[in-house]
A = this chain, B = another copy of it.
């Protein structure tokens, strides 16, 4: 049983953790009202915002986990939005940045935390950006200025690498990546799937 699911969210009764009839995995099931409370993987949406001079907007995290490390704007997708809409929202919330979100760049499976990342490219509509509750500092950085050893998450690191590789080639595409296991920072994770080459 998951520690946050002890009671039925519909009726408040104590739940059981067992395989419902016709299912194949144990679920949080209410013996009083029959409601099943599913747990599902979560989607993280993000954007790599590019300024007109080619620098990208990076944020220093002001919250846990990985407080003090660097990321581009990204966060949990909300109900009723597309990945692009969510990415634009995150850019405003985390960096006060007005971003025109472009095509998807990267789709990453992170099974060890039950997450899927959807990372877009994007362009800053204005030069304005700045700190927020979530970011202690925001900066426009060239590729050689990116603090590669102080990136908050492997997903962010891989997405940035792919972005700059594609930009050098002058040809963007959508990349897919499976991260095979949890890496302790600053180690790099092993990767599986279509992307074994960049580490």
Contacts and interface: CB of A to CB of B under 8 A. Distances in A.
Interface of A: 3-15, 22, 24-25, 28, 35, 37-43, 76-85, 93, 103-104, 107, 109, 111-112, 114, 116, 118, 133, 173-176, 178, 193-194
A48 to B, nearest CB: 15
A168 to B, nearest CB: 20
> Copies per complex?
2
Nearest to A103: B194
B39 A104 contact: no
Contacts of A83: 109, 116
Contact of A82 (B40, B43, B173, B178): B178
21 contacts: A6-B9, A6-B10, A6-B11, A7-B10, A9-B15, A12-B14, A40-B42, A40-B43, A40-B76, A40-B77, A40-B79, A41-B78, A43-B43, A84-B178, A84-B193, A85-B111, A103-B194, A107-B107, A107-B118, A107-B174, A174-B174
Contact of A4 (B10, B41, B107): B10
Contact of A176 (B10, B24, B103, B133): B103
Given A7-B7, A7-B12, A79-B114, 11 more contacts: A3-B10, A4-B35, A6-B9, A6-B11, A7-B11, A8-B9, A39-B79, A84-B178, A84-B193, A104-B107, A116-B116
A42 B77 CA distance: 10
A79 B41 contact: yes
A28 B194 CA distance: 39
A61 to B, nearest CB: 15
Contacts of A194: 103
Contacts of A4: 9-10, 35, 37
